[in-house]
Amino acid sequence: MRRLLLALAFLLLMASTWIGLTRGQIDPVQRNILYVHVPNSVCALLCFVVVLVASIGYLATGGQTWDLVAAAAAEAGFVFATILNATGMIFSRAEWNVWWTPSPRLVTSAILWFLYAVYLILRVSLPDAQRRAARLCAVFGIVAFLDVPLVYISARFIPDIHRPNFSLDSAWQTAALMLGMAGTALLAAGLIWLRTSLLRDSRKLEQELLG
Amino acid sequence: MREAMAQDKLTGAVLSVRAVSKTFVTRPVLRGIDLIVPASEAVCLCGINGAGKSTLLRVIAGLLRPDRGSISIQGCEVRREPEKSRRQLGMISHASMVYPELTVSENLAFAARLYGVPNRAGRIEEMLTGTGLSSYRHDRAGILSRGLLQRLAIARALLHRPAVLLADEPFTGLDADATENVLTIFDRFVREGGTILMTTHDLHLGLRCCARVAVLDRGVLILDARKEEIDAPRFLADYLSYARSRR
Amino acid sequence: MKDMWLGLRAILLKDIVVELRARQVLPTMVVLGMLIVFILRMASESAAAGAGVPVMGAAALWIAFLFSGLLAQERSFAAEQQNGCIDGLLLAPLDAGTIYLAKVAANIILLTIFEAVMVPLVLMAFRLHVAGWGRLAGVLLLGNLGISSVGTLFSAAVQLTRTRGALLSIVVLVLLLPMMIPASFALLVLFGALPENVVGSGSFAFVGSFRAAVAYLLAFDAVFSVACWLLFGVVVEE
C-alpha cells in the first residue's frame, strides 16, 4: 500500500515536471522553480500540522505511535522546508541577484526551517526512553506551531522588495502546479507513513534487546 | 471505588493503596499493590534494590501517576482531589528538598507558606524544638551536616501536621546519634496519631520503629504482616538469604 | 484563590532571596550583557557613522537581552534541580500553574533589574537618545514577558530531562525569532531612527506603525504566556 502511494506520488511529480517544462513554461525561466517551491511550501506547513496533531494526540493519550508520527512528520517537514529555502534562494539569486534578503517570504521560510531543525535536535539529544523527553518534544511541537502564524504576521513588518506577479496564464500551468501539489502531498504522506513504521520497528527491536 | 472509600471511613484507614500498577516503558515496576494502613501505625517496606519501593512511595505522593489503581489519603483520592490529599502528606526522600542558600528557619517558613500553615512562627518554633534544631535556626542549610539536614527535612515534612509521612531510606548516612534522633521523632509522630510508610535497607532499624513489615519483590507484595506475627530473628535470616539469592 | 496567591508570593520571594544570596546569575547576566555591547560597539566602529549606529544600538540591546535573558531562564529550574527541591514544590498543595506564574514573575523581575543597568550603558555606548522613557519601559516589559514565559516552560522541561548542552538556548531563541522584528522596529522608533509610521519605501525600511508593533508584542505575549502556562503542568509531571 505504501509502495503504491509513493509510486503514485512519483508519477504525479513526473507528470507535473513534464507538463511544466514543456507545455507550461513560465517566462523568465527561473520562475519555473515555482512548480517545486509552492508545493514544498504547502507541504512543509502541512507536515507541521501533522506534528501538531500528533503532539496533542501523544499528550492526550500517551500512545507511543503518536510520538513516532510526530517525529516522522518533523523529519519529512524538515526536508520540505530545506527544499523550500533552497528553491527560494535559487529564485532570489536568479531574479534579484542576491542569495538571500530579509523579505517576508524568505524570512518566514527560514524561521520555519529553524523550528524544524530545533525540533529534530531535541529529538536527537534527549534520551529516547524517557517519557519526559517525548513529552518535551510534544510540548515544543505545539508551542512551535503557535509560533507559525505569529511569524507570518511579524513578517508583515518587512516590506516585500519586489512582489512578482505569480499569475498562472494557461491551463497547462495550473495543471502542472496542481499535479505538483498533489504529488508532493502524497509524497509527504508516504514518507511519514514509511518513517513511522521504521521508527516503530526500531523501537520494538531496541526494547527487545534491552528488555 | 466509592464503596472502597466508604469502607475506608468505616475502618479508619488513613492510607489506602488499591491495585496500583505502574510500568516504565516496558518494565512493570509495580503490579497490583494493595496496602491499607490505619492511623498510628508505622509500616516498614523492605525489598532489594529495584524492587519498586521508591516508585511506590512516589506514586503515593502523587509525583508519579499510576497506570492502574487508586490511592486515597484520609478518604481523599489523590487523583481526584490532589490538593486536599497533598495537604495530608509529608515526604522525605533521598534528596533533602531544602534550599542551601536559605537558613533553617527560612526553609521552614517557606514550607509553611506553601502549605498555608496557621500560626507560622509558633509552629516553626515547635518543629525546631521538636527536632533539636533550635540552635541552628540561623545557619544556612547548605552548611548542615547530613544528620542535621535530615532533621530539617523531617521538620519540613511534618510542619503542616500531615496524616501520613512517607520516608524513603530515612536512615541512610546517619550516625548512631542522628539515627536515635530520627527514631524518637518517628515514635512521637506515630504516638500522636500519624501514619508512617518507610522504606529501609536496615531491617533492624525497621523492625525497631515499625509495627508492621511488608516485603516488595519484583513489584508484588509478598509479605505484609504485623511484627508480632513474625518471628523476628528467623525473618531477618530468611530475608538475608532471600536478598542474597535475588542478587 | 487566596491560597494560590500566598503560594505564588512565597515562591516568588524565595526565588528572589535565593538568587540575591547566591549572587551568581545576575552578575553573570550583567557582565555578559556588557561584553556583548562592547563587542558590537567595536564592530560598528568601522561602519559609516550616523545612520548605522541606532540600528547597532537596538541590535546590541536585544542581543544582550536575549543571551543574558537565557541565563536567567536557566536559573529558574537549575536551583530546583539541586537537592530535589522541585519535588518539594510538586508535593505542596499547589497547582502547577501557580509555580509557573511565580517563576515567570521572578524572571521578569531579574530581567528588569538587568535592563535598568544595561539600557543606560547602551545609550551611552552608542550615543543614543530615547524619545519616551515610558514607552521604552513598556516595550522592554513586553519583551521580558515574552522571553520569560517561553523560557520558564522550557527551562523546566529541559532541566527535568537532565540533558546537557545549549538545548534551552536554541529552543527559546527559535521561538522568539518572530518577536524580534516588531521589537527592533519599536526600539528604533524610540531611538529616533525611524518615524512612527513607516510605509514601505526603500529596501530595508520597516513597514508599520509603532502602535502596530506594540500590539503585536502584546498579542505574542498573550498567546505564549497562556499556552506555556497551560502546558507547564504537562512538562513537570513525571
- The neighbours of chain A, by the rule of 3 or more Cβ pairs under 8 Å, are B, C
pLDDT value of position C204: 40
Q: Quick check: C82 and B100 CB within 8 A? A: yes
Statement: residue A144 has pLDDT above 50: yes
Average pLDDT, chain A: 84
pLDDT value of position A36: 84
Q: Quick check: C93 and B91 CB within 8 A? A: no
- Residue B28: asked if its preceding bond is cis (omega within 30°), the reply is no
Kindly report the backbone phi and psi dihedral angles of residue B50, in degrees, each rounded to the nearest multiple of 5, phi listed first.
Answer: 85, 5
| Separation CA B138–CA B105 (nearest Å) | 7
A107 chain-C contacts, CB cut-off 8 A? 181
Kindly report the backbone phi and psi dihedral angles of residue A61, in degrees, each rounded to the nearest multiple of 5, phi listed first.
Answer: -110, -25
Nearest CA in chain C to B109: C10
| Separation CA C236–CA C91 (nearest Å) | 12
C210 chain-A contacts, CB cut-off 8 A? none
A201: which 3 cell numbers?
A: 520497528
pLDDT value of position A166: 60
**What is the SS3 assignment for A74?**
helix
Shortest alpha-carbon distance between residue C171 and chain B (Å): 26
pLDDT value of position A211: 60
pLDDT value of position A164: 57
Q: pLDDT band for C77, please (50, 70, 90 cuts).
A: confident
Shortest alpha-carbon distance between residue B62 and chain A (Å): 16
| Separation CA A127–CA A135 (nearest Å) | 12
Statement: residue A165 has pLDDT above 60: no
| Separation CA A150–CA A158 (nearest Å) | 14
Q: Quick check: C18 and B64 CB within 8 A? A: no
Strands B68-73, B13-24: pairing kind: antiparallel
Q: Shortest CA distance to C72 belongs to which of C30, C105, C29?
A: C29
What's the whole-number mean pLDDT along residues C79-108? 91
A139 chain-C contacts, CB cut-off 8 A? 153, 157, 231, 234-235
Cβ-contact C122, C57 below 8 angstroms = yes
pLDDT value of position C202: 42
The H or E element containing residue B198 is strand B195-199
Question: Which DSSP string do the residues of C5-70 spell out, in sequence order?
Answer: HHHHHHHHHHHHHHHHHHT-HHHHHHHHHHHHHHHHHHHHHTSPTTTHHHHHHHHHHHHHHHHHHH
Statement: residue A61 has pLDDT above 60: yes
What's the whole-number mean pLDDT along residues C42-64? 76
Give the torsion sign (CA, B106, B109, B111, B113). Answer: negative
DSSP label at residue A170: S
Burial B147-163 (b: 16+ CB within 10 A, else e): bbbbbbbbbbbbbbbbb
* Inter-axis angle of helices A131-155 and C210-236, nearest 10: 170
Average pLDDT, chain C: 85
Q: pLDDT band for C99, please (50, 70, 90 cuts).
A: very high
Top residue of C4, C76, C89, C91 to mutate, by most chain B CBs within 10 Å, is C91
pLDDT value of position C237: 81
Shortest alpha-carbon distance between residue C7 and chain B (Å): 5
Nearest CA in chain B to A64: B25
Burial A153-192 (b: 16+ CB within 10 A, else e): bbbebbbebeeeeeeeeeeebebbbebbbbbbbbbbbbbb
B26 chain-A contacts, CB cut-off 8 A? 207, 211
Q: Quick check: C178 and A155 CB within 8 A? A: yes
Out of B63, B87, B114, closest to residue C238 by CB? B63
B25 chain-A contacts, CB cut-off 8 A? 129, 131, 207
Residues of chain A with pLDDT > 90, as a percent, come to 29
Kindly give, in sequence order, each residue whose CB lies less than 8 Å from that of residue C209, ignoring residues fewer than 6 positions away: C196, C197, C198
Give the torsion sign (CA, C148, C152, C154, C158). Answer: positive
Q: Quick check: A207 and B27 CB within 8 A? A: no
Give the torsion sign (CA, A151, A153, A157, A158). Answer: positive
Residues of chain C with pLDDT > 90, as a percent, come to 38
Q: Shortest CA distance to B53 belongs to which of B166, B141, B186?
A: B166
Q: What angle do CA A70, A75, A76 make, to 5 degrees?
A: 100
Which is more confidently placed, A78 or C23? A78
pLDDT value of position A73: 95
* Inter-axis angle of helices A171-210 and A2-22, nearest 10: 150
**What is the SS3 assignment for A78?**
helix
pLDDT value of position A163: 56
Which is more confidently placed, A129 or B112? B112
Residues of chain C with pLDDT > 70, as a percent, come to 91
Statement: residue C201 has pLDDT above 60: no
Nearest CA in chain A to C186: A157
What's the whole-number mean pLDDT along residues A133-157? 88
Q: Quick check: C94 and B111 CB within 8 A? A: no
Which is more confidently placed, C198 or B46? B46
Q: pLDDT band for A159, please (50, 70, 90 cuts).
A: low
pTM of this structure: 0.87
Q: Does B93 touch chain C (CB under 8 A)?
A: yes
Least confident of B93-107, C55-69, C199-213: C199-213
CB atoms within 10 A of CB B173: 12
Statement: residue C107 has pLDDT above 90: yes
Shortest alpha-carbon distance between residue A149 and chain B (Å): 35
Nearest CA in chain C to A125: C163
**What is the SS3 assignment for C126?**
coil
- The neighbours of chain C, by the rule of 3 or more Cβ pairs under 8 Å, are A, B
Which is more confidently placed, C146 or C83? C146
C79 chain-B contacts, CB cut-off 8 A? 99
What's the whole-number mean pLDDT along residues C97-113? 94
What's the whole-number mean pLDDT along residues C85-110? 92
Q: Quick check: B26 and A211 CB within 8 A? A: yes
Question: Which DSSP string do the residues of A128-159 spell out, in sequence order?
Answer: TT-HHHHHHHHHHHHHHHHHHHHHHHHHTTS-
Statement: residue A63 has pLDDT above 50: yes
**What is the SS3 assignment for B164?**
strand
Nearest CA in chain C to B140: C21
Residue pointed to by grid coordinates 542558600: B101
| Separation CA A29–CA A95 (nearest Å) | 10
Shortest alpha-carbon distance between residue C99 and chain B (Å): 11
What's the whole-number mean pLDDT along residues C60-71? 90
- The neighbours of chain B, by the rule of 3 or more Cβ pairs under 8 Å, are A, C
> Long-range pairs for A96-102 at CB < 8 Å and ≥24 separation?
A96/A161, A96/A162, A101/A161, A101/C203, A102/A158, A102/C204
Task: Indicate the length of chain B as a whole number.
Answer: 247
Top residue of B110, B138, B154, B168 to mutate, by most chain C CBs within 10 Å, is B110
**What is the SS3 assignment for A101?**
coil
A153 chain-C contacts, CB cut-off 8 A? 178, 216, 219
pLDDT value of position C194: 75
| Separation CA B213–CA B45 (nearest Å) | 6
The CA distances from residue C218 to A167, C117, C211, in Å, are: 36, 24, 10
pLDDT value of position A143: 95
Q: pLDDT band for A173, please (50, 70, 90 cuts).
A: confident
Nearest CA in chain B to C95: B83
Kindly give, in sequence order, each residue whose CB lies less than 8 Å from that of residue A166, ignoring residues fewer than 6 positions away: A31, A34
- CA–chain centroid gap for C158, Å, is 18
Cβ-contact B100, B93 below 8 angstroms = no
Q: pLDDT band for C54, please (50, 70, 90 cuts).
A: confident
Among residues 10-39 of chain C, which lie with CB inside 8 Å of chain B? 10-11, 14, 17-18, 21-22
Kindly report the backbone phi and psi dihedral angles of residue B219, in degrees, each rounded to the nearest multiple of 5, phi listed first.
Answer: 85, 5
The low-confidence residues of chain B, meaning pLDDT below 50, are: none
C3: which 3 cell numbers?
A: 491560597
Q: Quick check: A131 and B27 CB within 8 A? A: no
pLDDT value of position B5: 60
| Residue B17, beta-bridge partner list | B35, B71
pLDDT value of position A15: 81
| Separation CA C109–CA B189 (nearest Å) | 41
- CA–chain centroid gap for C60, Å, is 14
C221: which 3 cell numbers?
A: 505575549
Q: Quick check: B102 and C21 CB within 8 A? A: yes
pLDDT value of position B4: 61
Q: Does A127 touch chain B (CB under 8 A)?
A: no
Please write the tens of the pLDDT for every residue from A175-208: 888 888 888 898 898 889 989 999 888 888 887 8
Please write the tens of the pLDDT for every residue from A82-126: 999 998 888 888 877 888 877 778 888 899 999 999 999 888 887
A131 chain-B contacts, CB cut-off 8 A? 25
Q: Shortest CA distance to A205 belongs to which of B12, B26, C142?
A: B26
Q: pLDDT band for C224, please (50, 70, 90 cuts).
A: very high
Out of B82, B83, B97, closest to residue C88 by CB? B97
